[in-house]
Structure 1
Amino acid sequence: MADLPPSHPFDDDKLKEECGVFGVVGIADAANFVALGLHALQHRGQEAGGIVTYDAEEGFNSARRFGYVRDNFTKASLMETLPGSLSIGHVRYSTAGSKGNTAIRDVQPFFGEFSMGGAAIAHNGNITNADALRRELIERGSIFQSSSDSECIIHLMARSLQKNIPERMKDALRRVEGAFSVVAMTRTKLIGVRDPMGVRPLVLGKVGDHGWALSSETCALDIIGAEFIREIEPGEMVVITEEGGLESFHPFERRPSRFCIFEHVYFSRPDSIQGGQSVYETRRQIGVELAKESPVEADLVCPVPDSGTPAAIGFSQESGIPYAMGIIRNQYMGRTFIEPTEQIRNMGVRLKLNVNRALIEGKRVILVDDSVVRGTTSRKIKDMILDAGAKEVHFRIASPPTAWPCFYGVDTPEREKLLASQMTPEEMAGYLGVNSLKFISLDGLYRAVGEKNGRNPKAPSYCDACFSGEYPVAPSDMIEKGFELKAAE
């Protein structure tokens, strides 16, 4: 077993996406293509990964491993056990299940054997009524093997009376609340489904003459040389055969689209396309809007690597203040300190980030970052900048204050641990010890993603619950546990 990646000892102040999904059909040695796709999606889940394949002679085969894709699914001895021209895969960072204590049984894809044959599923998102479904299924005799909410889908499929697996999947997903982008496979078909609001992403690509691919992001299509065809629509199911045939269904009641706006801010890779827009260009435009809303006199605009870089470029271009790499990221920290000593741990972000002292000294510095969650990392970065001799430190944040937890597939601290839920921006500036702290407004963020008039408060076109507290689907499990929704205004 490969070593587990560090459990975020030096980067625990960012929101974490739950996972990425990828699948191909009609391609020889499909597992190798899935491994490449998962490698491109590694930013969406670094805890564990899994691949399932089907081969007419050997049937279904699977491999699930802890750690990075590069450390597991590049070994010929393992990949030779995954033959076939049909395969799906998953990379995981747990949001539902045993956080921080993941068992191999929690690693997807999950597999089920039905009367009409086997099926495997990989799920990105979070089922907000999973606790209620799990209780119901256990009372009716289901035996769960994992702590993951995604396993509910397999059990719901098993209880369906429909005659084929796609129809059973429709039955199962109609019972599910929350967010889901699912990539699944049978012996002969690759299946992709998005929830009715399209909260989490899923795209379709063409590989050669007869092959198809499904992926969380377009960047994973690029790595295997696939042509991006289109996004799977909110509420759509596609069923693709090995011969290259594709059918599209809309099995759910239609609802207004509410794609996760944080995909544009942070989760997606900047070289991906989401909602028909370049993620990089959207982030650059966020910086432009931020500079318009919150100007400040300064000498340098510096990104907090790497996620703050496009917004910092946009801020610099709009403000006319020079852009500079005032903070340098150590790209090779990951495997060196798997189990750091307490002395090393206390060095904090200095293991990952180092200040370019010759550039910073004596300067008024604008630091551009994507978000402030707990504020712990922001304080350490501010200290590093001041220790390097900066005259002033101004934070500009490329998202509104994150004041509410996400229940749709993002690992978010409890609300009371979110700094913006406890303090105003002015109080946060004092807590962080910076000369100024400004966030982009929610309207400004919407303008950056293409909504010229900003956010429509009566019918927002994105899920922005982490900023607004307005949940498009009530998180019923969390409400049952005592979570209080935002009071109606």
Structure 2
Amino acid sequence: MIRHYCGIFGIYNHAEAARLSYFGLYALQHRGQESAGIVTWDGQKLREHRGMGLVPEVFNERHLGKELKGDIAIGHIRYSTTGASLIRNAQPFIVRYKGLEIAIAHNGNLVNTLELRRELEEQGSIFQTSIDSEVFVHLIARNLNGHTLEEAVMAACRKVKGAYALLILANNKLIAVRDPHGFRPLALGRVAGAHVFASETCAFDLLEAEFIRSLDPGEMVVIEDTKVQSYKIETEAPTRQCIFELIYFARPDSLVFGEDVYQCRKRMGQELARESAPDVDFVMPFPDSGVYSAVGFAQESGLPYEHAMIRNHYVGRTFIQPSQDMRDFSVRVKINPVKSMIKGKRICIVDDSIVRGTTIRTRVKKLRELGAREVHFRVSCPPIKFPCFYGIDFASKGELIAANHSVSEIERFIGIDSLHYITIEGLLRSVSHPENYCLACFTGDYPIPCAGGGKLCLECGC
């Protein structure tokens, strides 16, 4: 499974700021399931509540109605790619410095964290967490002497390297920042006179908020009182948005990087069908990730589209573990084949990615046991050969099946009759501005090289 770093949400000037943040995070839950947090400004101080688990597990009516008072709020949901899965690493992260209370929510990964952390510790900084996001707070605090908060934030951004979409709540000021490469998405909207920020526009839809625009790469938006100001971070860099937002992470009902995610995934399936459509009885997805590219594939190829695998939507994050003799239970409890659709059939499965290949192998084995005559596999992203250091939890290079095996070897390992990955050219034909995307996980061409001295560099070999 591929996992994302997190999602962020912010709102300014709304009497129900905490409640709207709750629903905004609820809409973004797919971006992280380990922890959730909301911080509000009540006019005098920051109020916070954070916890481990899903959004409805962390917050209740007491938190939203009584404790998290104020008309400004930021929220965060997390899946850990740096730092352990512990409550102290949950965000938003708060510090108090010279009468200023600062909360920060960060989506992304920094690649020079170890270097900056060593430098800051040598200068006397004491870190409370193991997350890279805390580096921002220390850098901002060190640049506050003699400078405005906006200047301190921009100075911190010029110091760090990597991917970040930030929301910063400092007393009655809300700041949103997107890194100069624009790796991670961040959108601006409006609801009932309040301004809102979110990782994806699906959060706006739930609140019936108006989508205004996406923040530009390298842009900082500051809201204070009734004033909204935009600044440009001085660092210049080519736009390199994460294409996996469109392939896998973003909800299909979102607009991300100016793209309609649903239509992008359909176009990926159409391009895939033009490149390699086998002679089969029907096309099917592995729900839910492969559904939209499979629709496009079926429409372009003229092949029937079927749901021969059914997902159990009521499976939570945990369940009673079976005994050892119930092999592969964790896979079967989530997705199960329709037996009458399988026997004697030639099947083409369309999915969005293959990382290690182990889950797919288990599912294909089940199809074979049920009598599938042929099983073909089509993938709507190119082979993933390199780990990501900008906020996607890809395995190390040694665990990526496409980095170490040929297509024919992968076919044999999974147990399929044929395999085709969409080409990079076909993938880029599926998006509006192909020159703006990061393809490092396919090509190894990293927009920002690792800074040295840590696990990241050991994995990529830089």
Aligning the two structures, in what range does the TM-score lie when normalised by the shorter sequence? Answer: over 0.9
Kept in 1: contact 2:186–2:215 (CA 8 A): yes
* Correspondence for 2:161: 177
* Correspondence for 1:23: 10
CA shift, 1:335, in A, is: 4.9
CA shift, 1:390, in A, is: 1.2
63, 71, 95: which one pairs with 1:112? 95
CA shift, 1:347, in A, is: 2.0
* Correspondence for 2:117: 134
* Correspondence for 1:53: 40
Matched ranges for 1:36-51 at <5 A: 36-51=23-38
CA shift, 1:186, in A, is: 1.4
* Correspondence for 1:214: 197
Kept in 1: contact 2:387–2:460 (CA 8 A): no
* Correspondence for 1:303: 285
Does residue 441 (structure 1) correspond to residue 428 (structure 2)? The answer is: no
Kept in 2: contact 1:116–1:165 (CA 8 A): no
Kept in 2: contact 1:162–1:168 (CA 8 A): no
127, 139, 142: which one pairs with 1:144? 127
435, 441, 449: which one pairs with 1:466? 441
Spell out, residue by residue over 1:351-396, the C-alpha distance to the aligned partner (whole angstroms, 9 max, x if none): 1100011122211001111100000011011012112221110010
Kept in 2: contact 1:205–1:214 (CA 8 A): yes
Q: Residue type matched to 2:124 in 1? A: G
* Correspondence for 1:372: 354
* Partner SS, residue 184 of structure 2: coil
Change (3 A) 1:437 1:31: same
Change (3 A) 1:397 1:86: same
Matched ranges for 1:406-421 at <5 A: 406-421=388-403
Structure 1 distance, partners of 2:281, 2:456, is 51
Structure 1 distance, partners of 2:125, 2:380, is 45
168, 179, 191: which one pairs with 1:195? 179
* Correspondence for 2:216: 233
Change (3 A) 1:112 1:281: same
Change (3 A) 1:338 1:63: farther
* Partner SS, residue 73 of structure 2: strand
Structure 2 distance, partners of 1:235, 1:411, is 24
CA shift, 1:345, in A, is: 6.3
Q: Residue type matched to 1:361 in 2? A: K
Change (3 A) 1:269 1:143: same
Matched ranges for 1:55-94 at <5 A: 55-57=42-44, 59-77=45-63, 79-94=65-80
400, 404, 411: which one pairs with 2:386? 404
CA shift, 1:341, in A, is: 4.8
Q: Residue type matched to 2:378 in 1? A: R
Structure 2 distance, partners of 1:104, 1:97, is 11
Return 5+ residue gaps in structure 1 as ranges: 1-13
* Correspondence for 1:255: 237
Kept in 2: contact 1:112–1:119 (CA 8 A): yes
Does residue 349 (structure 1) correspond to residue 336 (structure 2)? The answer is: no
Structure 1 stretch 333-342 or stretch 321-330: which is displaced more?
A: 333-342
CA shift, 1:254, in A, is: 2.2
Change (3 A) 1:379 1:79: farther
Q: Residue type matched to 1:358 in 2? A: S
User: Under a length normalisation based on structure 2, what TM-score does the superposition of the two structures give?
Assistant: 0.96
Kept in 2: contact 1:469–1:485 (CA 8 A): no
CA shift, 1:55, in A, is: 0.3
Kept in 1: contact 2:40–2:69 (CA 8 A): yes
Structure 2 distance, partners of 1:421, 1:409, is 20
Spell out, residue by residue over 1:287-323, the C-alpha distance to the aligned partner (whole angstroms, 9 max, x if none): 0000000121000100000010000000000001000
* Partner SS, residue 428 of structure 2: helix
* Partner SS, residue 375 of structure 2: strand
* Partner SS, residue 449 of structure 2: coil
Structure 2 distance, partners of 1:219, 1:341, is 40
Structure 1 stretch 115-124 or stretch 194-203: which is displaced more?
A: 115-124
Return 5+ residue gaps in structure 2 as ranges: none
Spell out, residue by residue over 1:400-451, the C-alpha distance to the aligned partner (whole angstroms, 9 max, x if none): 0011000001111111000011011121111111000110001100001135
CA shift, 1:119, in A, is: 1.1
Change (3 A) 1:226 1:406: same
Structure 1 stretch 69-78 or stretch 26-35: which is displaced more?
A: 69-78
Structure 1 distance, partners of 2:317, 2:111, is 34
Q: Residue type matched to 1:18 in 2? A: Y
Kept in 1: contact 2:50–2:58 (CA 8 A): no
Structure 1 stretch 75-84 or stretch 442-451: which is displaced more?
A: 75-84
* Partner SS, residue 163 of structure 2: strand
CA shift, 1:329, in A, is: 0.2
Q: Residue type matched to 1:474 in 2? A: P
CA shift, 1:340, in A, is: 5.3
Matched ranges for 1:425-440 at <5 A: 425-440=407-422
Structure 2 distance, partners of 1:479, 1:50, is 28
User: Under a length normalisation based on structure 1, what TM-score does the superposition of the two structures give?
Assistant: 0.91
Does residue 35 (structure 1) correspond to residue 18 (structure 2)? The answer is: no
Kept in 1: contact 2:396–2:459 (CA 8 A): no
CA shift, 1:74, in A, is: 3.7
Q: Residue type matched to 2:40 in 1? A: T
Q: Residue type matched to 2:135 in 1? A: C
Change (3 A) 1:52 1:260: same
Kept in 2: contact 1:401–1:467 (CA 8 A): yes
Change (3 A) 1:345 1:155: farther
Identity of paired residues, percent? 45
Change (3 A) 1:175 1:349: same
Kept in 1: contact 2:389–2:456 (CA 8 A): no
Kept in 2: contact 1:73–1:79 (CA 8 A): no
* Correspondence for 1:9: none
